[in-house]
Amino acid sequence: MSKLSIIIPVYYNEDTLMDLYLDLKEKVFLQIPDYELVMVDDGSGDKSWEIMNEIRDMDERVRLVKLSRNFGEHSALLAGFSVCTGDCAVTKQADLQEDSTLILDMFESWKQGNKVVLAIRKSRDESFIKVFFANRYYSMVRKFVNKEMPSGGCDCYLIDRRVIEVIERLDEKNSSLTLQVMWSGFKTDKVFFDRKNREKGKSRWTLAKKIRLVMDTLISFSNAPIKFMILVGSLFNIFAIVMFVSVLIEYFTNGVPVVGWASLMSVVLCSSGLTLMMIGILGEYLWRVLDAARNRPVFIIDEHLNVRQEDNVSDAKTGA
């Protein structure tokens, strides 16, 4: 009998956790004989951990993991994968924006031999601004990183045990877990769903985190920033040569002297700005090299409450 692990990263989700569990119990757990629910508290500062323990008291198949601080969703999912025991594992958001029955569709697809099943958004009941910028991001990913990225993007996915082992061996920081899963190259299927608007709680997906995701995506999976630097530098040099030749022609043919302090300063400031931007891009690459060289753990587990009552532990554990 195949066992399914459901991994849920939790970050300030006290308003939705109990509703999420009851929804999973009604729509999923009754349909799957062998399952485990792994909930990972990613350094929440609210009552999420207390509610997670209440849920665990209600269901002996719930496994809880508490990280020592906020490491980010990427690390929280890796922590969940590191402790799960299922033959396959599916990720699930805690905000109730995708229907829980989607898990059953993904599980059935896995039974048919697919080692990766992506849940693709076919529609989003969200504001125009959110949809617009999300679509631009996925369009950028398709153009510069992975042409197989669906136009609607994906919030969750199911992966086989073999894929989990590959992801754990990658040991990459400042990256995109979804793109790592797609990069692995295993047989992949897609299921589609309608993403609902968030009704409870407040999203912690800030603008800064979105910008960081864009940078991590490009720098970790593409050399597009380096090509951009080469292109801009080449165009600027060509422009400078053309301007230099035109000045010489004007001077020797018409006797026009070289004047214009304002134009000169504009060129200097523009070139300085471009130079600093290029240094910043290189700095992002160097920072990631330094971060990898320090070999710090991707996550640190503070508490781990196992599925079986007799195996309960509370320890400090690092994940590489």
Specify if 92 maps to a domain. yes
Do 110 and 147 have their domain in common?
Answer: yes
Specify if 246 maps to a domain. yes
Do 9 and 93 have their domain in common?
Answer: yes
State the average pLDDT over residues 103-110. Answer: 94
Which pTM value belongs to this model?
0.78
Q: What is the pLDDT of residues 116-159, one digit of tens each?
A: 999 988 877 777 787 788 888 888 888 888 888 887 778 789 99
Specify if 212 maps to a domain. no
Specify if 211 maps to a domain. no
Do 174 and 241 have their domain in common?
Answer: no
DSSP-based helix, strand, coil % in the chain, nearest 5: 50, 20, 30
Do 17 and 105 have their domain in common?
Answer: yes
Do 238 and 309 have their domain in common?
Answer: no
**What local confidence, expressed as pLDDT, does residue 262 receive?**
61
Specify if 37 maps to a domain. yes
**What local confidence, expressed as pLDDT, does residue 315 receive?**
42
Do 149 and 257 have their domain in common?
Answer: no
pLDDT for residue 21 is more than 70? yes
Do 17 and 83 have their domain in common?
Answer: yes
Among the ranges given (33-37, 51-55, 130-134, 163-167), the one the predictor scored with the smallest mean pLDDT: 130-134
State the average pLDDT over residues 52-58. Answer: 93
pLDDT for residue 307 is more than 70? no
pLDDT for residue 4 is more than 80? yes
Among the ranges given (29-33, 158-162, 273-277), the one the predictor scored with the smallest mean pLDDT: 273-277
Return phi, psi of residue 82, to 5°. Answer: -70, -25
Do 34 and 168 have their domain in common?
Answer: yes
Question: What gap in Å lies between CA 121 and CA 110, rounded to an integer?
Answer: 19
**What local confidence, expressed as pLDDT, does residue 28 receive?**
93
pLDDT for residue 318 is more than 60? no
Do 160 and 177 have their domain in common?
Answer: yes
Question: What gap in Å lies between CA 300 and CA 316, rounded to an integer?
Answer: 7
pLDDT for residue 45 is more than 90? no
Do 26 and 139 have their domain in common?
Answer: yes
**What local confidence, expressed as pLDDT, does residue 189 receive?**
94
**What local confidence, expressed as pLDDT, does residue 68 receive?**
93
**What local confidence, expressed as pLDDT, does residue 20 receive?**
94
As to burial, measured by CB atoms within 10 angstroms (0-12 exposed, 13-18 middle, 19+ buried), residue 127 is: exposed
Question: What gap in Å lies between CA 280 and CA 273, rounded to an integer?
Answer: 11
Question: What gap in Å lies between CA 177 and CA 183, rounded to an integer?
Answer: 10
Specify if 143 maps to a domain. yes
Do 118 and 175 have their domain in common?
Answer: yes
Q: What percent of the chain has pLDDT over 70?
A: 92
DSSP alpha helices (H): ranges in the chain? 17-24, 48-58, 73-83, 102-111, 128-144, 161-170, 177-183, 207-221, 224-254, 261-294
Query: Which residues form the domain of 118?
Result: 4-202+296-319
The total number of structural domains in the chain stands at 2
How would you label 233-243 residue by residue, b for 16+ Cβ within 10 Å and e otherwise? eeeeeeeeeee
Specify if 9 maps to a domain. yes
Q: Which CATH number covers residue 40?
A: 3.90.550.10
Do 136 and 44 have their domain in common?
Answer: yes
**What local confidence, expressed as pLDDT, does residue 61 receive?**
92
Rg (CA), the chain: 25
Specify if 217 maps to a domain. no
**What local confidence, expressed as pLDDT, does residue 91 receive?**
95
State the average pLDDT over residues 165-172. Answer: 86
pLDDT for residue 258 is more than 50? yes
